[in-house]
Chains A and B, each alone.
Chain A
Amino acid sequence: MNKIESTRVGFMQGLEALAEKDDRIMMVSADSMLAMRATGFAEKFPEQFVEMGIAEQNAAATAAGLAIEGMIPYFATYAGFITMRACEQIRTFIAYPNLNVKLAGVNSGVAGGEREGVTHQFYEDIGILRTIPNMTILVPADADQARQAAISAASIPGPVYIRLGSGRDPVFFEHNTSFLPFKINILQEKGNDIALFGNGVLLLRLQKAAEELEKRGIGVTLVEVHTVKPIDVVGITQVLKNCGAAVTAEDHNIIGGLGSAIMETAAENCPVPMSRIGLHDCFGGSGNPEDLLDYYGMSVNDIVEAALSTIARKKATPSC
């Protein structure tokens, strides 16, 4: 069993570290203080904490107003209430004027939303935000990356979205492992039969799948893509050239998210056989997060099978 830490707590640790040094840092809550584990922040920095009530459009537009005046507000609540209910506020009033508003969405994916069910479980957030100009989209793998993502976001100009989980999130990296936005993170290059691209909670499963594939004599390059927008076209193209086949994995609809971003990159720069792991354009449901990931097609075995079938297609296709 993997160690569990909270991406929400990690995010808030990052935000507190920022707020200590910079009084322009603010947190905007839509009655999400408890969900965000932000009680400590609100007590420590009462002048930098703004409670808007359960009113996400209001919170997003108010955050825009704060950013117009030079503040750096972080609006944090459930991923879908940000990206769906406040979608227009993000698009027209935050992203269009390229304001320094940071957004953090929890309960992302079936694993992030787990027992809450579909109303509080969001696998469309990245697809929605990816179509909006000026957005940067970060998908931390675990709690410590969430902490680093919160800190990095402050120095990225313009709007940044940080995708967070349930608060009971598996740990992937050692603490303080370097997190560099915008670039892909190659975790291992043990051969070039297949590239596995992934992010967030699925990195652990990708790693297990890589081990399983290696047992079968297949060489795997494993790549973390924590920055979904802007996508690292150069880095991804290089990996595709080396491997000639790829599988993407994300706890998100296979439409619009990481898989789409990498396929778009591949189609224009290095078309190779690919498969996508994720929700196959369906809604999720309540359950234990590990069970949900298995049930909705994101098991270790699903990744292994996808890799094998993709490699098989590779043999029939000339490489780029």
Chain B
Amino acid sequence: MTERINRLKTIATQLRRDVVNTVYYAGDGHPGPSLSIADILTALYFDIMRLNPVDPDWKQRDRFILSKGHACPMLYAALARRGYFPPAELKTLRTLGSRLQGHPVMHYTPGVDATSGSLGHGLPQGCGMALAARRRGDDSLVFVLTGDGELNEGLVWEAAMSIAKFKLTNMIAIVDNNGVQSGGKVETIGGLVKLREKWEAFGWYVVEIDGHNMEKMVTMLENAAKRGRASRVDREGMLIVDGQAAPNPDQPVMFIAHTIKGSGIPFMEGNNSWHKRVPTDEEHQLAMSILGGKDLE
């Protein structure tokens, strides 16, 4: 386990470095909301998800939707390091002709399973994809990562209702609960409170995790993935978290991941100007000295 976790931690640092470099060289992008999902994406792309980068359209793969599409520098870094395209391409982000559009676009970027960026659309698209997977009868999973700010969108709750109604246990949803959206605190901008109770009231099984604790996160996500692939009979009583009652076999699972916007770079943590901001030369240097290493290659 230690070796497994150390490997993932090293990758997460690499991805953080890639994000800072990407935004710095491209001269545009959202570093803060990318960094809060560094550890989650590392766990998914380098441990939990069943993938085949050589064949991005492989039918039996697990799907991933980055509903908070503005955090795509982190998704692009994960895809590049996982082998979907060369890491050198990351610096083309948001430039004319690049496969790395300002927000993720399916058919453009190898490994991007759904278009996203206009907020609130990951869960309903994932709902359709999970329904289709169930009709195909295979055990591939649909992972959806949403922001917490985007839960302001009414569409999210329409989808929350449907996914629970359809009993889409082959979906695993995660909220990146960094607590801050573009204009300020999530609580004050949109009045979003009692997140856990809201999802539970919609019929979901909720697990709260520390989105930067790799070891605990990997264990729980692995449990959820096993449950997601299991038959209904086998799902009965399957635990996700020790010490928390098992979900009922028809419930979809929502992870509320407590995270820090700008995570891993102290001068960005807690400073929401990094929601969308390009590091200066000095800031870039400083970030590189914190993370170690210096360039994309």
User: Which of B105, B158, B165 meets A57, CB within 8 Å?
Assistant: B158
User: Which of A53, A61, A67 meets B121, CB within 8 Å?
Assistant: A61
Is A66 a contact of B124 with CB atoms below 8 Å? no
Decide if the interface of chain A is mainly helix, strand, loop or mixed.
helix
**A55 located at the interface, meaning its Cβ lies under 8 Å from any Cβ of chain B in the complex:** yes
Is B115 a contact of A66 with CB atoms below 8 Å? no
Given the interface pairs A55-B162, A58-B155, A97-B115, the reply to whether A64 lies near B135 with Cβ below 8 Å is: no
* Complexed CA–CA distance, A103 and B105 (Å): 22
Chain A residues positioned under 8 Å from B129 (CB to CB): 65-66, 68-69
Is B131 a contact of A70 with CB atoms below 8 Å? no
Interface string of B122-141 (1 = CB under 8 A from A): 00111111111101100000
Is B118 a contact of A69 with CB atoms below 8 Å? no
Is A53 a contact of B131 with CB atoms below 8 Å? no
* Complexed CA–CA distance, A13 and B205 (Å): 41
User: Which of A47, A58, A64 meets B158, CB within 8 Å?
Assistant: A58
Query: Which one of A88-96, A173-181, A204-212, A268-276 is at the interface?
Result: A88-96
Task: List residues 121-176 of chain A with CB under 8 A from any CB of chain B.
Answer: none
The residue of chain A having its C-beta at the shortest distance from the C-beta of B124 within the complex is: A61
User: Which of A55, A61, A96, A97 meets B128, CB within 8 Å?
Assistant: A61
* Complexed CA–CA distance, A47 and B136 (Å): 11
Is B118 a contact of A47 with CB atoms below 8 Å? no
* Complexed CA–CA distance, A68 and B126 (Å): 10
**A319 located at the interface, meaning its Cβ lies under 8 Å from any Cβ of chain B in the complex:** no
Is A65 a contact of B106 with CB atoms below 8 Å? no
Is B162 a contact of A65 with CB atoms below 8 Å? no
**B161 located at the interface, meaning its Cβ lies under 8 Å from any Cβ of chain A in the complex:** yes
Is B132 a contact of A66 with CB atoms below 8 Å? yes
Chain A residues positioned under 8 Å from B133 (CB to CB): 69
Decide if the interface of chain B is mainly helix, strand, loop or mixed.
helix
How far, in Å, is A98 (CB) from chain B's closest CB? 8
Is A93 a contact of B127 with CB atoms below 8 Å? no
Is B158 a contact of A97 with CB atoms below 8 Å? no
Chain B residues positioned under 8 Å from A69 (CB to CB): 128-129, 132-133, 136
Task: List residues 52-95 of chain A with CB under 8 A from any CB of chain B.
Answer: 52-53, 55, 57-58, 61-71, 73, 88-89, 92-93
**A50 located at the interface, meaning its Cβ lies under 8 Å from any Cβ of chain B in the complex:** yes
**B159 located at the interface, meaning its Cβ lies under 8 Å from any Cβ of chain A in the complex:** yes
Is A61 a contact of B155 with CB atoms below 8 Å? yes
Which residue of B128, B129, B131, B158 has the most chain A CB atoms within 10 A of its CB atom? B128
Is B115 a contact of A92 with CB atoms below 8 Å? yes
How far, in Å, is B137 (CB) from chain A's closest CB? 11
**B114 located at the interface, meaning its Cβ lies under 8 Å from any Cβ of chain A in the complex:** yes
**B198 located at the interface, meaning its Cβ lies under 8 Å from any Cβ of chain A in the complex:** no
Is B121 a contact of A66 with CB atoms below 8 Å? no
How far, in Å, is A267 (CB) from chain B's closest CB? 32
User: Which of A47, A58, A68, A89 meets B106, CB within 8 Å?
Assistant: A68
User: Which of B118, B154, B162 meets A88, CB within 8 Å?
Assistant: B118
**B107 located at the interface, meaning its Cβ lies under 8 Å from any Cβ of chain A in the complex:** yes
Given the interface pairs A68-B106, A69-B133, A97-B106, the reply to whether A62 lies near B125 with Cβ below 8 Å is: yes
The residue of chain B having its C-beta at the shortest distance from the C-beta of A57 within the complex is: B155
* Complexed CA–CA distance, A294 and B225 (Å): 62
Given the interface pairs A53-B162, A88-B118, the reply to whether A58 lies near B131 with Cβ below 8 Å is: no
How far, in Å, is A31 (CB) from chain B's closest CB? 12
Given the interface pairs A97-B107, A97-B115, the reply to whether A68 lies near B128 with Cβ below 8 Å is: yes
**B18 located at the interface, meaning its Cβ lies under 8 Å from any Cβ of chain A in the complex:** no
Is B115 a contact of A93 with CB atoms below 8 Å? yes
Identify 20 new A-B residue pairs, CB closer than 8 A, beyond the known A58-B124, A96-B105, A97-B106: A47-B135, A50-B131, A53-B161, A57-B154, A61-B128, A62-B127, A62-B131, A64-B128, A65-B125, A65-B127, A66-B129, A66-B131, A67-B128, A68-B125, A68-B128, A89-B121, A89-B124, A92-B121, A93-B121, A93-B125
Ordered by A's residue number, 11 sampled pairs between the chains whose C-beta atoms are within 8 Å are A50-B131, A52-B162, A58-B158, A58-B162, A62-B128, A64-B124, A65-B128, A68-B132, A69-B136, A93-B115, A97-B115
